[in-house]
């Protein structure tokens, strides 16, 4: 039986239905699921609103043995509607899977970056709405674009390595360190990043007893 490891879904109350249907089908295929952060896009919609709009998706997820590691976009919400899901906002979680030790984290706590949206939401609502219209321009030079579908994304590979190095300084050795945050899918002998789900593309990985870690990429 395989574990599904997925990251950076960034669900909002305006998430396209084809993405919701893809995720529902995907979650149905696995009994053990690990979400390594940014399940929600907390800057745009409250998790509560997202939950009730896409109830079927979360009912499927809640029936599984699921670990949810809070990411920076999940903000500081509690998730009382996810009754059977283990979730944490800690720096990382260690799990023994098929006799091997894996460390799971989102990655943002090991790489300080500027997140302008947090500060925008501290401003009066009308000011926030106006500034958010120009958000992409405001942060284009301050925050990684986080688009693995663009050609010039080699710098994200360097960010993955930086997260791994920062994590390694405070922790022991693991079979693999698995994290998200950058949206850059990558698998090597030291660490893995499952990528993200969006823009009609999805990437994720599985951990199985026979094959170890396997990376998948689909167009939905």
Q: Is residue 24 part of a domain?
A: yes
Whether 37 is in a domain gets the answer: yes
Q: What average pLDDT does this structure show over 143-150?
A: 45
- Helices 17-28 and 55-62: crossing angle, nearest 10°? 20
Number of domains present in the structure of the chain: 1
The pLDDT tens digits for 127-142 are 656 666 665 555 444 4
Tokens 């809070």 correspond to what residue? 70
**pLDDT tens digits for 187-201?**
999 999 999 999 899
In a domain, 141, yes or no: no
Q: Write down the residue that tokens 């799990």 correspond to.
A: 95
Could you tell me if residue 144 is inside a domain? no
Residue 130 lies in a domain: no
Q: Tell me the per-residue pLDDT of 10-58, one tens digit each, with 9 for 90 and over.
A: 999 999 999 999 999 999 999 999 999 999 987 778 888 899 999 999 9
Q: Name the pTM for this structure.
A: 0.83
Range of the domain at 9: 3-111+154-219
Query: What average pLDDT does this structure show over 99-125?
Result: 73
Paired tokens of 196: 């993200």
Backbone angles phi, psi at 180, to 5 degrees: -120, -125
Asked if the structure places residue 209 within a domain, the reply is: yes
Residue 211 has pLDDT above 90, yes or no: yes
| 125 located within any domain | no
SS3 assignment, position 106:
coil
Range in 117-121, 179-183, 188-192, 201-205 with the lowest mean pLDDT: 117-121
Domain containing residue 51: CATH number: 3.60.21.10
SS3 126: helix
pLDDT digits (tens, 9 = 90+) for 149-181: 455 566 788 889 999 999 998 887 899 999 999
Please check whether residue 138 lies inside any domain of the structure. Answer: no
């Amino acid at each position: 039986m395989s574990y599904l490891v997925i990251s950076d879904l960034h669900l909002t109350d305006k998430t396209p239905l084809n993405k919701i249907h893809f995720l529902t089908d995907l979650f149905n295929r696995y009994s053990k699921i690990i979400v390594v952060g940014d399940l929600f896009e907390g800057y745009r919609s409250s998790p509560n609103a997202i939950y009730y709009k896409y109830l079927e998706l979360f009912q499927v997820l809640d029936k599984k043995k699921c670990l949810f590691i809070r990411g920076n976009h999940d903000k500081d919400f509690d998730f009382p509607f996810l009754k059977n899901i283990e979730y944490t906002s800690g720096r990382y979680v260690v799990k023994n899977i098929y006799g091997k030790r894996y460390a799971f984290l989102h990655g943002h706590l090991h790489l300080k970056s500027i997140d302008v949206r947090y500060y925008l939401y501290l401003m009066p609502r009308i000011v926030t709405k106006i500034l958010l219209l120009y958000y992409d321009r405001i942060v284009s030079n301050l925050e990684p674009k986080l688009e693995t579908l663009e050609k010039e994304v080699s710098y994200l590979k360097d960010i993955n390595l930086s997260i791994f190095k920062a994590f390694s300084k405070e922790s022991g050795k693991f079979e693999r360190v698995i994290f998200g945050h950058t949206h850059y899918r990558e698998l090597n002998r030291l660490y893995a990043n499952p990528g993200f789900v969006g823009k009609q593309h999805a990437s994720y990985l599985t951990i199985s007893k026979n094959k170890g870690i396997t990376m998948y990429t689909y167009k939905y």
